[in-house]
Amino acid sequence: MKKYKIIILMFLTLIVDPSLAKVEEEADKAITKKFPKVYNNDSQNGVFTFKEGINNLYIRDSQIAQDPSEIIFKTAKTFPDHTQIAIAIINNGKVNYFGIDKKQDTILWINNHESVFEIGSISKVFTSTLLANLVMEGKVKLNDNVNDYLKISFKNDAKISFMSLANHTSGLPSLPTNLDLTKANAENPYKRYTEKELKEYLTKDLELSNKGAYQYSNVGSGLLGYTLSEIENITYENLLKNKIFLKYGMQNSTADINQIKGNLVKGLNKRGRETSNWEFSVLAGAGAIFSTVEDLSHFAISQFDHSNKELKLTRENTFEINDNMDIGLGWHILKPRSTSASQSDNLWYFHNGGTGGYSSSMVIDENSKSGIIILSNVSAYNKKMGNIDKLCFELMETLVKE
């Protein structure tokens, strides 16, 4: 049986306030002993005790095994009423969809594979895919500096390459220093951070630290999306539509809240109440995309086509973060540990996301053509949000065992 040294990373889309450190601490506690190499805490899920059959908690007409179904139900119970979780399970290139809706402590199977959620930082994978597209078209090179493609001069003539933005080694901080979140609308904090503010940051306030080391940066991904849009002279939304969404049949995906076609699931704050959607303005490349598990499954299955050079480029290792994890362009690459030598080369490609009203998680294995995609309206500030990643990896483990 294959066993993985799983790296669960809490890549929340953007840091909204200092209390997030406490949220991450609570999320860490939610990871069970199943992943002791990363989280050495005992499980502290606080899962309610439900007996099958009480509150309609029957598992009916499931297309997946009893064990995965129980995993899904167990996770759903930890979240507030009105929580929706949409799941795509890809096994050998074929996908099945499952949906959960929690109402009045009753958990029901629903059909929500076409429902729209914010995907948060999974957007970074798409921004990096746009970069790969322009590389394949010969318009840029990974080691080119973005400075050469913008009409402004960076402070101290700092040089920042496309690759370093995609793999978080640019030296940029998580957020620009001129983004004052204490004065922003807490429920939509990035809407008013525009191109003007970004240019001011790059020309007057820019300071790089730990350049060449891994340092997760939201402003870096935002700058990457902005630069690619400037090169193509179109909006980030139209760049996604022309080069990704149309190509991979992602009909219900958009980075523009005004362009949403399908049913938008309302986001919930940490107390389980409806909250506003986030609009990222110039930092769209860091986390602006709305999508569905159906659309994301199309994108995931396309990763299994080895003739697709742009997608293959995003999965190529560009930097070793530690013994357990590398990074490509956008994708974090989780290294397996196996008792079977023949299975030792199966890498998992992972990203997750979190915003004020949503959490998401996505992992794929190109060799076995399998993957798990989870979208939810669980807030990144919900103390149990770590259970979304936990669910993603536990479901992936059920596929590995088959």
Q: Are 183 and 349 in contact (CB under 8 A)?
A: no
Tokens representing 141? Answer: 């090179």
* pLDDT band per the 50, 70, 90 thresholds, residue 186: confident
pLDDT digits (tens, 9 = 90+) for 356-393: 999 999 999 999 999 999 999 999 999 999 999 999 99
pLDDT digits (tens, 9 = 90+) for 34-47: 333 332 222 222 22
Q: Which CATH class is domain 125-245?
A: alpha beta
Listed residue (279, 161, 283) closest to 218, CA to CA: 283
What is the per-residue pLDDT for 155? 97
Give the mean pLDDT of 113-128.
98
What is the per-residue pLDDT for 55? 29
Instruction: Residue count of the chain, please give it.
Output: 402
146-155, 176-185, 346-355, 382-391: the lowest-pLDDT one: 176-185
What is the per-residue pLDDT for 57? 30
Helix axes 386-401, 20-29, angle to 10 degrees: 30
Q: Are 191 and 279 in contact (CB under 8 A)?
A: yes
106-110, 180-184, 211-215: the lowest-pLDDT one: 180-184
Interatomic CA distance for residues 99 and 61, integer angstroms: 13
Interatomic CA distance for residues 287 and 280, integer angstroms: 7
Beta bridge partners of 334: 325, 348
Q: What is the CA radius of gyration of the chain?
A: 20
What is the per-residue pLDDT for 262? 87
Interatomic CA distance for residues 133 and 145, integer angstroms: 17
Give the mean pLDDT of 304-318.
97
The architecture CATH gives domain 33-121+251-401: 3-Layer(aba) Sandwich (3.40)
Q: Which residues contact 142 (CB under 8 A, 6 or more apart)?
A: 131, 135, 161, 162, 163, 166, 318, 329
Q: How many CA atoms lie within 13 A of 226 on its CB side?
A: 26
What is the per-residue pLDDT for 345? 63
Helix (H/G/I), strand (E/B), else coil: 289: coil
Listed residue (28, 83, 15, 25) closest to 269, CA to CA: 83
User: Does residue 331 have a pLDDT over 80?
Assistant: yes
21-35, 145-159, 207-221, 242-256: the lowest-pLDDT one: 21-35
State which amino acid sits at residue 324: N
pLDDT digits (tens, 9 = 90+) for 37-95: 332 222 222 222 222 222 233 223 334 444 678 899 989 999 999 999 999 999 999 99
Q: What is the pTM of this model?
A: 0.85
Mean pLDDT over the full length of the chain: 84
Q: How many CA atoms lie within 13 A of 107 on its CB side?
A: 29
What is the per-residue pLDDT for 337? 57
What is the per-residue pLDDT for 44? 25
Give the mean pLDDT of 335-364.
80
Query: What residue ranges of the chain are covered by domains with CATH 3.40.710.10?
Result: 33-121+251-401, 125-245
Q: Which residues contact 336 (CB under 8 A, 6 or more apart)?
A: 2, 4, 5, 343, 344, 345, 346, 347, 348
User: Does residue 112 have a pLDDT over 90?
Assistant: yes
Q: Are 14 and 175 in contact (CB under 8 A)?
A: yes
What is the per-residue pLDDT for 289? 98
User: Does residue 98 have a pLDDT over 50?
Assistant: yes
Q: What Cα–Cα distance (Å) separates residue 327 from each residue in 39, 243, 320, 350? A: 20, 23, 6, 9
What is the per-residue pLDDT for 343? 43
Percent of the chain's residues with pLDDT above 90: 74
